[in-house]
Structure 1
Amino acid sequence: MQNSKRIALLLGAVILTVGLVYIAFHFIFLNLLVDLWWFHSLKFESYFWLRLLYRFFLSGGVTLLFFSIFFFHFWIASRYFGLNPQPNVSLGRLDKRRLFQRFADTFTSGSVLVYTPIPLLLAIYIAVPFYQHWEMALLYLFGGPSGVAEPVYGYDTSFYLLSYPFYLLVQQELLTTASLLFCAVGILYWLEHVFVPEQRKEFPLGAKIHLTILIGFVVLFAVWGFLLHRFSLLYTDTHQPVFFGPGFVEMRYQLPLIWLAIVTFLATAVTASLFIFSEKHRIKTPFFIALTVFLCVLGLSKVHFIPELIQEYIVNPNPVKTEKPFIQHNIDATLDAYDLKHIKTVDLPVKLNAVDDIKAWSSQEHFENIPVWDREILVDTYNQLQSIRPYYSFLSVDEDRYIILENTRQVNLAAREVNLSKLPPEAQNWENTHLRYTHGFGAVVTPAGQDAGNPLVWYMRDLNQSSSVGLSVQYPDIYYGQEQYTYAIVPNKLSVMGISGTQSDPDAKTPYKGEGGVPIPSQFRKVLFAFYFKDQNLLFSPNITTESKVLMRRNTTERIQTLTPFLHLDNDPYLVLTKERFYWIQDAYTLSKWYPVTQLANDDFLEGKQEFNYIRNSVKIVVDAFDGGVQYFISDSSDVLIQTYNSAYPSLFKNLDEMPFELKAHLRYPRELFYLQMKVYAKYNQKAPELFYQQAETWQFAKVRGQPVLPYYQTIDFGNCNGKGEFVMLNPMTPVNRDNLSIIGMAGIMDTTTCSTAYNPSITIYKFLKDVQVNGPAQVESLIQQDPEISSLFTLWNQGGTKVELGRMVIMPMGNSVLYVQPVYIVSSTNAIPKLSRIIVSIGNRVVMDTNFASAFNRLKQMFISSSDDGNNTATPKGNADP
C-alpha cells in the first residue's frame, strides 16, 4: 500500500516537473532566445535588454516592495504575541499560561516561516496591475514637462499624460494595501487579546501605536484619492453635445464639495482615532458630528436634484455668460490635443470671371499632376495587367511624387508582392512556401494624371523593371511588405524565383545577398527554430545550409509592433523606390486618453479601436523591403510622450535630420491624421465661446452621391518656388446640411514661404468669402447630370454590356477660382479593367467633358469669354438658389 502511494507521489512529481520544464522551455527560454537573436539581427540588442530589464526591475521591484511592507508589519505584530500577561496568576491557570506561552514562543520564533508565504501571495495580488501597466511607471520615471499648461487648474499637460494615470494606480494599490494591513494586524491583536489567558484589559502600547500608524496611512491614501478626484472633473461629459469638460456646476458646486469632503474626512479620522485609542479623550460627540457632516457631504455629491436646480435656474437662463470660460477651456485644450493650434487661415475671394485663372493654368505642367486615376480602381488594373505570375499580387496603390523628366510628377505606385494563396493547392507545399517562393519582385509606377481615351501610361513595369523615364532599382526583391508573409529560409539549395542584384532575367537563380535574417549556423539553432515554428521540416530538410538565414516577422506592421508596441501605426504605409532598393515608410503616432478637457476621438481611427484624445505624428519609421532593417526617426520633437520614450530608450530613435535625403524627399502628411484633424476642426474652428455655442460655422465633409469626399493627395505648384510643386493633401468641406463649398483644407510638409525642403508639417484653411456662393461637389455633379451632351453620352455608354463609373472628384483652388475634375471610366461586363474614357472639368457653373485637359480648358475659356460678353456671372451670387 505504502509502495503504491510512493509510486503515485513519484509519478505525480515527475509529471509536474516535466510540465514545468515544458512551460519554462516553450514560453520563457525558447521565446526569449529567439527574440534575442531576432533583435540582434536588427541591431537592437541593447534596446531588447533595456526593455526587458525595465520590465523585470519595475515588476520585480514593486513585488519586493509590497512583500517587504506586508512582511514587516506582520513580523512586528508577531513580536507582541502572548507578551502581555497579568503578574499574579493562579496555579490552575499557570499551566494554561505555560502551554500557551510555548505556542507563543514557537509562533514568534517561527514567524519568518509563517509570514513569508502570506506576504508573498498578498504582494503578488497587489502588484498584478503593475505587471500589466509597467510602462505607465516608465513614463512617470522618465517624463518631463511639456511647457503647455491646461486651462482649468493650470497644471502642465505632462502631469495628465505621464503622472496622473500612474498616481491613480498607485493610490488605489496603496489604499488597498494599508486597508488590508490594518484589518489583518487588527484582527491578530484582537485574537491575542481575547484568547491569550489572563491578558490585561488594556491593549499593549506598541499595538496601539502600530494600529494608529496603519490607520494614519489609510487616511493619508484616502485623502490622496479625494485630491486626485478633483482631476476627474476635467473628463466629465455631462455638457455634451454643447462642449466637453467641467462647467459651472462642476467648478462651482462639485469642486467645493470635494474640498469639504477632505476636511470632514480628516476630522472624522482624527476624532475616531482619539475615541478608539485614548481613554482620556473618549468623547463620542465630536466623532459623531464629524462623521455626520462627512456623510452629508458624500450624500450631496451623489444627489442629482441640486446640480439640476443650479443648471436649470442659474446656468440655462444665461448659458453663454455662465459657461463662457469653461467653453473656452474646452476649445483651447482640444486645439492643442489634436495639434490644431497653428492652423493658418487664408480668405479666398472668388472672382466671377475665371478667364485669367484658366490662362494661368493652361500650361502642360499643371495638367500632369491632376490625379485622374483613383487608387481603388488602379489596384484591379495593376493586378490584371502586371501580376504576370500567379504568385504575385498588388495589395494596395500608393501616391507619391518623383522628379521625372526634370519635373515633379505625381505618380501612383505599388509593390509586386508574393501571395502564396494564389498558387494551385498542390503547389502550396512546405518547400515552395518557405524555400522557393520567398519574396515579391519590383513595382509598377504610373502617372497620376494623363489624357483620357489612351492606354495607361507606365513609368515602370514588367519583371525586367523597364522604364522609359529613367527609373531603376538595383535590388528590386521585396522580402518584407504588407502581405501576410510566413517565415522564409534563404539562401538555400533550391532555385529561388526572382532576382537579386540584376535586372536582366527574372528567373535568375541567385542567392539572397541581404544582411537581414537570423543565421542558422548550427544544428542547435535548427532544433530550436523547429520547436519555435512547430515545424519538423525545418529540422530535417537537406536544402538548408549553414549559410541560411531565417526571415521572420516579415509583415511590416507585425515587425514594427513587435519592436515598439507603444507606438500606434497608421493604416497606410507607403512604398518608396530609390536607386538601390525599395523602402516602406510607416507613420506612427503617440496617443493618450488622458488629455484634460478634451473629448475622446469617436472614430475607429486606428486598427484596434484605440481610445484617445491626444495624438501626435511623432515618428516616421523606415523599413528596408530587401533587408528588413527598421529605423525610427523622430518627426515631432515637441511631443512630450516621444521625448519620454527617447529618454527611456536612447539607442532606439534618430533625429529626422539623419534620414537620407532620398527618403526624406518622400515624407508626407498622413491621410488618416488629416481626416481626424479636419473632423475635429469642423466644429472647433469656432474659437469664440459665443460662436461655438451657436454652432453657426460648423462644417462637414463635402459629399458626392451621399458619400463624404475624403482627403486626397495633390501636387500643386503655387508659383512661388521656381516651379517646384508641393505634395499636399486637400479636403473640401461644406456647411452643415448645405451643399455649397465653405472651405478647402490643405495639409503639407513644405514651407512655401522659404521653399525649404525641411520637413515642416502644417495645415492651411482656404476659406471662401460669403459674398459669392461656391458650388460644392454635389452641386457640380448635379450640373454634370443636367448637361444634355454629357447625359446623352452616359445613356449611350450604359448600354451594350458597358457601364459608366464616375471617379473621385478632385477639388482644388485655382487662383481665385475653384477647379473641379472628375474622371469618367467605362467598365465592360466582360473585362474588369476600367478604361479612362473622358475627363470632366468644371469651374463656376460651367461644365466641360473632353479627352484631355488642354481641350477642356480652351472650351471653358471660350464659355467664360462668351458669358462675360453677355453679362453673365461665373459663380452663383450670394442668396441665389443652389443649381
Structure 2
Amino acid sequence: MRKRKLLPALAGVTIVSAIILYVAFYFVFLDFFVDLWWFRSLEFEAYFWLRLLYRFVFSGAVTLFFFAIFQFHFWIASRYLGLNPPDEVLLDDKKRRRFQRFAEVFMSGSTKVYTPISIILAIVIAVPFYQQWEDALLFFFGSDAGISDPVFDRDISFYLFSYPIFMLIQQELLFTASLVFLATGLLYWLEHIFIPNQDKQFPFGAKIHLTVMFAFVVLFVEWGFILDRFTLLYNNSREPVFFGPGFVDLRYQLPLIWLSILTFFMIAASAVFYVFSETHRSKTPIIISVLSFMAVLGLQNWNFIPTVIEDLVVNPNPTRTEGPFMGYNIDATLAAYDLNNIKNIDFPINLDPTKDIENWSNIKHFENIPVWDRELLIDSYQQLQAIRPYYQFMLVDEDRYFIHNHIQQVNLAAREINIKKLPKEAQNWENTHLRYTHGYGAVVSPAAQDADIPIVWYLRDLNMSSDVGFSVKHPDIYYGQEKYSYAIVPNNLVVKDISGSNGNDSPGYQGNSGIPIPSYFRKLLFSFYFKDEKIFFSPNISTESKVQIRRNINERISILTPFLHLDKDPYLVIEKDRLYWIQDAYTLSKLYPVSQPAADDFLDGKNEFNYIRNSVKIVVDAYDGNVDYYIADPKDPIINAYSRAYPGLFKHLNEMPESLLSHLRYPRDLYYMQMKIYAKYHQNSPALFYEQAETWQYAKVDGAPILPYFITMDFGRCNNQEEFAMINPMTPVNRDNLSMVGIASTLDDSQCNNGYKPNISIYKFPKAVQVNGPSQVMALIDQNPEIAGQFTLWNQLGSEVKKGRMVILPMGNSILYVQPIYMLATKTKMPELARVIVSIGNQVVMDKTLWAAFERLKAKFVKTASGSSSGTSGAKP
C-alpha cells in the first residue's frame, strides 16, 4: 500500500524535474552556449563576458547588500536589543530558565526563519536593479557633458546618468528602510509581549535601534523630496505653448517642495524627542509639525492658488512672466536635438530669374538632379533585374560614386535571396538551409536619366556587367535586410547555376563567418537548438561547415548592442572586394532637462525621448557578417560612457576605411525629425516663440508632405565641389508659399574634403516676396493646357500617369522645380519615365529630357526679359 501511495508523488517529482531540466537545457544551457559561440565567431567574446559580468555582478552585489541589511537588523532585533528582564529574574533560577527557554525561540529564529525571509526580500528588491542594470552602467562610466541646465545649474550628465539611478535607489532604499523599521518594531513588540518576565519599560537599546531605522526612513523620504524638484524640469502642463517649468512651477511649487522638506524633518525631530523624553512629554510639537506638513501638501495639490496666479500675474503679460522659462525650453531643445549649429542664410529672390538661368546653363548641374523616385524604381528593378524567381530587391538606396570623372548620384539595390519565391515543393529543408543560402550582387542606375528611353544601367545582371568600372570580388550576400533563416555553409552539396550566369558549379562559401560544427556533439546541440534533427543526420554537413545565424542586419546589430537605436534605412555600399551595409545608430534619452519630447513617428514609434545623437555608424560585411562600430559623434556623453564600459567595441571614425568613409551620409530619418522640431524652435526669442507667427510645416503636394530627399549638387561652399545632401522644403503653417529650403550635408566645408562633418543650412526667403510652394507649382502644372492634354491622351492609351517627387533646388537667387512624370503599364505596373517638368516662378515646361526642358524654359524668359511680369519668380503681395 505504501508503494502505491508513493507512486503518484514519485511521478509528480519526475514530471517537475523533467520540466525543470527541459527549461534549463533549452533556455539556459543551449542559449548561453550558442550566444557564446556566436559572439566568439564575431570576435566579440570579451565583450560578451563583460556584459554578463556587469549584469550579474551588479545584480548579485545589490542582492547581497539588501540581504545583509535585512539579516543584520533581524539578527540584532532577535538576539540582543529586545531582551530586557529585570534583575530579580536573573537571580531566580526558575524564572531565569523559563526566560531563557522562551528567548532561545526568538534567538534561533535568526537562522531558521529570518535568513530565508531576508533572501526572499533581497531578491524581490533587487529585481528592478537587474532590469535597469544598464542605467547603473552609465552611472558608473558617465562623465560630465560640459553643459549645465538653466534652472538648477547642474551638468547635463547628472540627468542623463545619475538622476534615473538615484530615483531607483531612493525608492528601493525607502521601501527597504520602511520594511525593516516595521519588521524590527514588530519583532521587538512580540518579544516584549510573549517572552515572560520582561521589564515593563521598552528596552533602551531597542529604542536606539528603531530610532536609527526611523532616521533612515526620514533620510530617504527627504531625499525623495529633493529629487522631486527635478520633476519640474519635465513638466508638460504649459504645452502646447512650451515645455518645462513655468512661472507657477518655479515661483510657487518649488518653494513648497522646500517647505515640505522642512516640515517633514520637523515631524521626525519632534517624534524622536517625544520617544526619548523622560519628562515633559508633549504631543503639541508633533501635532503642529504634522498639520504644517499636511498644509504644505494641500497647497501643492490645491489648484486654486496656482489658478489665481495664472489669471492675475501670468496671463496678463505672458511673454514677460513666462519669457525666461520659454527661453530655457528653446535653448535646451536646440541643444538636445543638436540644432545649435544650424547656419541660417537669407536667400534674396530675383524677380527676374533670367540671369540665374543663364548662369546655370552648364550641363554639369543637371547630371545629378534625381528624376527617378526610389519608391517607383524598385518595381522596375524587380521586373528587369531580379532575373531568378528566388531573388528580390528589398529597397532602393541612393548614394554617390566617382563615375565619368566626377561625383555622380546613383540608385542601387542589393539582390537578396527569398526562398518563399520558389515553388512550394522546392521549399524544403535542404534548399532552404544548404542550397539557396544567399543573394547575389547588386544593380546600379543613374539617378538622373532622360525620359522615354530604357533605363541606363551602371551595374546589372548576374554576371555583374558594368561599363563604368564597378567590380566586386565577392558579390554574394549572406547578410542583408531580408528575414533570413539559418544557413550551413560550406557543405557537401554540388550547387549548379544558382548565383552565377553560367552552368558551372557555384563556388562554395569561402568566408570566415559562422559557428563551426567540428563534432557530432555540436551537431546534436544545434539540432536541439533549431529543433531540427536533419542537422544531425544530414550527410551534406561536414566538419568544415559553419552555421550562420542572425543574418538580418537589424537583428544582428540589435542582439550585439541592444542599447543602440537603429535607423530604419540601412544602405548598401559597393566596394572592390565585397558589398557592405552601413547602418546609422542613435543614442536616446528622455531625461534631458527642459527639452521638448519628440513626436512618436520616429524609429519604431515606441521610444520616448527628448535627446538624440547619431553617435554611431555601423558597417556590416554582407559576405562575412562582420560588424564594426565607429563613433561618429565623440561629443555625445552617452556613447562615451558605453565606450569606456566596453573598451575595444567602438572605433574612432578616422579608423574607417576611406572607401567607406566617403559614403557616409546624413540620416534621412534624423533630418526629418530634427526639422519637425526646428519648424517651431527656429523662433528663438521668447516673444517670437509665443506668437508662433513664423512656424513652419512640411511642404505638401496633394495633401502629402514632401519628405527629405537626397541630391548631389554644388551648393557653392567648396570651390565647385559637389556634395551629397538632403533637401527639405517647408511652408508657413496652413499656407502653400515656400518659407525655406533646408540642406543637410556631411561635407567638411572648413577643409573642403570628404571628412565627415554633419551640418544643416537653412535658406530663408524674404517674407515680403511670394515664392511658389510645391502645391502652387502643382496647380500651375495642372492648369497648363499642353501638359493636361498630354496627360489625358496617355490615360486613354491604357497607361496610368503617375507624378513623381517634386525636386526643389535653390538656383542662384531663384527656385527651380523639377518633377518627373511616369507612365505605369496597366498590366505590369512597371513605371517608365515619360517626361520631365521644370518650373521657375509661374512658367512651366515639359520635355523628354531635363536639359531640353530647361532650355525651353530659358528661351521663355529670354523672350520676356524686356519687362514682362509673366516670367517673374515672385511678385510683391
Give the TM-score range, shorter chain.
Answer: over 0.9
- Give, in whole Å, the separation in 1 of the partners of 2:88 and 2:131: 57
Tell me what 2:725 maps to. Answer: 728
* CA deviation profile, 1:18-53 (whole Å, cap 9, x unmatched): 332222221111111111100000000100000110
Displacement of 1:272: 1.0
- Give, in whole Å, the separation in 2 of the partners of 1:4 and 1:279: 69
Q: Could you tell me whether the CA contact under 8 Å between 1:245 and 1:326 is conserved in 2? A: yes
* CA deviation profile, 1:397-443 (whole Å, cap 9, x unmatched): 00000001211110000000001111111111000000000000000
Q: Secondary structure at the match of 2:357?
A: helix
Displacement of 1:625: 0.1
Tell me what 2:434 maps to. Answer: 435
Does residue 874 in structure 1 map to residue 871 in structure 2?
yes
Identify if the C-alpha distance between structure 1 residues 309 and 581 changes in structure 2 by more than 3 Å, giving closer, same or farther.
same
- Give, in whole Å, the separation in 2 of the partners of 1:827 and 1:512: 40
Q: Secondary structure at the match of 1:663?
A: helix
Q: Could you tell me whether the CA contact under 8 Å between 2:82 and 2:188 is conserved in 1? A: no
Displacement of 1:772: 2.1
Please tell me the root mean square deviation across aligned C-alpha atoms, in Å.
1.7
- Give, in whole Å, the separation in 1 of the partners of 2:685 and 2:280: 59
Identify if the C-alpha distance between structure 1 residues 108 and 522 changes in structure 2 by more than 3 Å, giving closer, same or farther.
same
Q: 1:810 aligns with which of 807, 812, 817?
A: 807
1:516-531 aligned at under 5 Å gives the runs 516-531=513-528
Does residue 587 in structure 1 map to residue 587 in structure 2?
no
Tell me what 1:169 maps to. Answer: 168
Q: 1:740 aligns with which of 719, 729, 737?
A: 737
Displacement of 1:754: 3.1
Does residue 329 in structure 1 map to residue 328 in structure 2?
yes
1:264-413 aligned at under 5 Å gives the runs 264-280=263-279, 282-413=281-412
- Give, in whole Å, the separation in 2 of the partners of 1:244 and 1:393: 46
Q: Could you tell me whether the CA contact under 8 Å between 2:82 and 2:203 is conserved in 1? A: no
Tell me what 2:508 maps to. Answer: 511
Displacement of 1:136: 0.6
Amino acid at match of 2:732: P
Amino acid at match of 1:404: I
Tell me what 2:88 maps to. Answer: 88
Q: Secondary structure at the match of 1:66?
A: helix
Q: 1:597 aligns with which of 569, 594, 599?
A: 594
Does residue 632 in structure 1 map to residue 623 in structure 2?
no
- Give, in whole Å, the separation in 2 of the partners of 1:779 and 1:6: 87
Does residue 655 in structure 1 map to residue 634 in structure 2?
no
1:245-256 aligned at under 5 Å gives the runs 245-256=244-255
- Give, in whole Å, the separation in 1 of the partners of 2:555 and 2:766: 48
* CA deviation profile, 1:733-781 (whole Å, cap 9, x unmatched): 0011110100001100002343121100000001112232110000000
1:565-576 aligned at under 5 Å gives the runs 565-576=562-573
- Give, in whole Å, the separation in 2 of the partners of 1:90 and 1:863: 118
Q: Secondary structure at the match of 1:88?
A: helix
- Give, in whole Å, the separation in 1 of the partners of 2:838 and 2:607: 40
Displacement of 1:304: 0.8
| Range that drifts further, 95-104 or 160-169 | 95-104
Displacement of 1:104: 1.9
| Range that drifts further, 790-799 or 78-87 | 78-87
Tell me what 1:194 maps to. Answer: 193
What's the % identity of the aligned pairs? 62
Tell me what 2:18 maps to. Answer: 18
Displacement of 1:788: 1.0
* CA deviation profile, 1:363-401 (whole Å, cap 9, x unmatched): 222111010110010111111111111110001000000
Q: Secondary structure at the match of 1:244?
A: coil
Does residue 218 in structure 1 map to residue 217 in structure 2?
yes
Amino acid at match of 1:796: L
Q: Could you tell me whether the CA contact under 8 Å between 1:734 and 1:776 is conserved in 2? A: yes
* CA deviation profile, 1:662-718 (whole Å, cap 9, x unmatched): 000100000000000000000000000001000011000000011000000000113
- Give, in whole Å, the separation in 2 of the partners of 1:497 and 1:378: 31
- Give, in whole Å, the separation in 1 of the partners of 2:656 and 2:188: 67
| Range that drifts further, 765-774 or 354-363 | 354-363
- Give, in whole Å, the separation in 1 of the partners of 2:768 and 2:531: 71
1:441-520 aligned at under 5 Å gives the runs 441-496=440-495, 505=502, 508-520=505-517
Q: Could you tell me whether the CA contact under 8 Å between 1:812 and 1:820 is conserved in 2? A: yes
- Which stretches in structure 1 are left out of the alignment for 5+ residues? none
Displacement of 1:557: 0.2
- Give, in whole Å, the separation in 1 of the partners of 2:44 and 2:762: 42
Tell me what 1:34 maps to. Answer: 34
Displacement of 1:507: 5.5
Q: Could you tell me whether the CA contact under 8 Å between 2:817 and 2:838 is conserved in 1? A: yes
- Give, in whole Å, the separation in 1 of the partners of 2:695 and 2:720: 36
Displacement of 1:276: 2.6
- Give, in whole Å, the separation in 1 of the partners of 2:254 and 2:496: 70
Q: Secondary structure at the match of 2:544?
A: strand
Identify if the C-alpha distance between structure 1 residues 718 and 88 changes in structure 2 by more than 3 Å, giving closer, same or farther.
closer
Displacement of 1:856: 1.2
Does residue 549 in structure 1 map to residue 546 in structure 2?
yes
Amino acid at match of 2:406: N
Q: Secondary structure at the match of 1:831?
A: coil
Displacement of 1:145: 0.2
- Give, in whole Å, the separation in 1 of the partners of 2:471 and 2:860: 45
Identify if the C-alpha distance between structure 1 residues 531 and 90 changes in structure 2 by more than 3 Å, giving closer, same or farther.
closer
Q: Secondary structure at the match of 2:345?
A: strand
| Range that drifts further, 192-201 or 30-39 | 192-201
Q: Secondary structure at the match of 2:855?
A: helix
Tell me the number of residue pairs that the alignment of Structure 1 and Structure 2 aligns. 877
Displacement of 1:278: 2.9
Identify if the C-alpha distance between structure 1 residues 389 and 6 changes in structure 2 by more than 3 Å, giving closer, same or farther.
same
Identify if the C-alpha distance between structure 1 residues 753 and 547 changes in structure 2 by more than 3 Å, giving closer, same or farther.
same
* CA deviation profile, 1:289-343 (whole Å, cap 9, x unmatched): 1111011101111111110111011100111100010000000000001110000
Displacement of 1:275: 1.5
Amino acid at match of 1:869: S
Q: Secondary structure at the match of 1:539?
A: helix
Q: 1:671 aligns with which of 668, 673, 685?
A: 668
Does residue 690 in structure 1 map to residue 684 in structure 2?
no
Identify if the C-alpha distance between structure 1 residues 169 and 798 changes in structure 2 by more than 3 Å, giving closer, same or farther.
same
Identify if the C-alpha distance between structure 1 residues 114 and 235 changes in structure 2 by more than 3 Å, giving closer, same or farther.
same
Q: Could you tell me whether the CA contact under 8 Å between 2:339 and 2:674 is conserved in 1? A: yes
- Give, in whole Å, the separation in 2 of the partners of 1:208 and 1:409: 82
- Give, in whole Å, the separation in 1 of the partners of 2:876 and 2:857: 25
- Give, in whole Å, the separation in 2 of the partners of 1:634 and 1:609: 24
Amino acid at match of 1:25: F
- Give, in whole Å, the separation in 2 of the partners of 1:678 and 1:497: 51
* CA deviation profile, 1:59-105 (whole Å, cap 9, x unmatched): 111111100110010010111377322333599x9867634522322
Q: Could you tell me whether the CA contact under 8 Å between 1:844 and 1:876 is conserved in 2? A: yes
Tell me what 1:712 maps to. Answer: 709
- Give, in whole Å, the separation in 1 of the partners of 2:544 and 2:65: 49
* CA deviation profile, 1:824-880 (whole Å, cap 9, x unmatched): 011121232111110000011111000112211211111111222243263465543
Q: Could you tell me whether the CA contact under 8 Å between 1:487 and 1:552 is conserved in 2? A: yes
Q: Could you tell me whether the CA contact under 8 Å between 1:81 and 1:108 is conserved in 2? A: no
- Give, in whole Å, the separation in 2 of the partners of 1:339 and 1:835: 41
Amino acid at match of 2:219: L
Does residue 846 in structure 1 map to residue 861 in structure 2?
no
- Give, in whole Å, the separation in 1 of the partners of 2:14 and 2:412: 60
* CA deviation profile, 1:447-491 (whole Å, cap 9, x unmatched): 000111111100001000101111111100000000000000001
Does residue 646 in structure 1 map to residue 647 in structure 2?
no
Identify if the C-alpha distance between structure 1 residues 875 and 96 changes in structure 2 by more than 3 Å, giving closer, same or farther.
farther
Q: Secondary structure at the match of 2:753?
A: coil
Amino acid at match of 2:551: R
Q: 2:555 aligns with which of 555, 558, 562?
A: 558
